[in-house]
Structure 1
Amino acid sequence: MKTENVMTQWGLRSLSYWMTLFIALGILFIGLRFILLPRVSVEDFGIQVCSQSDLAFGRIKGIRDMYSGLALLALLLGRMKKATAYVFTAAIIIPCMDCLQIYLNNGLDLPRMLVHGLTAVYMIITSFLLFSDTNKATS
C-alpha cells in the first residue's frame, strides 16, 4: 500500500476549505470555553450541574472538542482534502449525539437541540462539498 501526501491547490479559494475552517475554529473555541468556564459551558450546553465534580465532564468535553478542532486544523494546514473529508464526515456523529443527549436529559429543548442539529446539517453540507471537491481534483 502506497501512502502519498500530495499538495493540491485546495485551500483558500475553496468554499469547503472555509466552511471546514469555520467549524475547526469554532469547536476549538468551544473546547477552550469548556475548560476555562466549565459551569457556564455545561449549563449552556443543556446539562444541569448537580455537584462540583460534574464539572469534570465539562472539561472532558472541552478536551474532546479541542482535539477535534486541532485535528481538523492540522489537516487543513496540510491541505489534505481527502483526509479532511473523511475525518470531517466521521465527526458528524458528534453534533448528532450531542443533540440526542440534550433530548434525553431535557426533553424537547428546541433552542439547544437546534444548535446541535443545525451544526450537523452544516457539517453534512460541508462534507458533501469536501467530497465534491475531492472528486473534481482526482478526475
Structure 2
Amino acid sequence: MKTTNATQNWGYQNPSFWMALLIALMIIMVGLKFFFIPEQSATDFGISFDSSRDIPFGYIKGIRDIFSGIVLLPLLYFRMKRAVAWVLAMVIIVPVTDFILVWKVSGIQNWTHMLIHDLTVLYIIFTCYLLFGKKK
C-alpha cells in the first residue's frame, strides 16, 4: 500500500486547478461576509432577516461556507485532483439547497438570486467534468 501522495501532473498549468481554486476562494469570501456583515449578506443571498434574532443563522452560514472553501485548499496545494473533484461533487448540494431555500422563502419573483445559485451549480458541475475527465 502506498502511504505517500504521489506528485501529479495536475496543478497551476491546468484551468481546472484555477477554477477549483476560484470556487474555494469565493466561498470563503462569502462565508467571511456572512460572518462579519450577516444582515447585508442575507439580503444579497436572497433571504433577508426578519429581526436581529436571525443574525446567528448568518454566522452559521458563514462558518459553513468558510469550511466548505478551506477544505479544498490543502487538496489543491498537494495537487490531489481526484480528491478535489470528489469534494466539489459533494459540495454541489450547498448551492442546490441554497437555491431551494431562496425559492421556498421568496418565490419565483426572486429569480435573480436563484439564478446566482443555479450558475454556481453549473460552474461546479463544469469544473467537476474537467477534473474527472482526464486521469493525469
TM-score (norm 1): 0.92
Consecutive unaligned residues in structure 1, runs of 5 or more: none
Name the structure 1 match of 2:133.
132
Name the structure 2 match of 1:106.
106
Consecutive unaligned residues in structure 2, runs of 5 or more: none
Note closer, same or farther for the CA distance 1:4–1:86 as it changes in structure 2 (3 Å cut).
Answer: farther
Aligned equivalents of 2:30 and 2:101: distance in 1?
17
Name the structure 2 match of 1:59.
59
Aligned equivalents of 1:110 and 1:24: distance in 2?
25
Aligned equivalents of 1:82 and 1:5: distance in 2?
12
Q: Which runs of 4+ in 1 moved over 4 A?
A: 1-4
Aligned equivalents of 1:4 and 1:105: distance in 2?
47
Shift of 1:44: 1.1
Aligned equivalents of 1:85 and 1:51: distance in 2?
39
1:1-139 matches, cutoff 5 A: 4-108=4-108, 109-133=110-134, 135=135, 137=136
TM-score (norm 2): 0.94
**Count of residues in Structure 1 that have an aligned counterpart in Structure 2:** 135
Task: Give the secondary structure class of the aligned counterpart of 1:50.
Answer: coil
CA RMSD of aligned residues (A): 1.2
Aligned equivalents of 1:116 and 1:29: distance in 2?
15
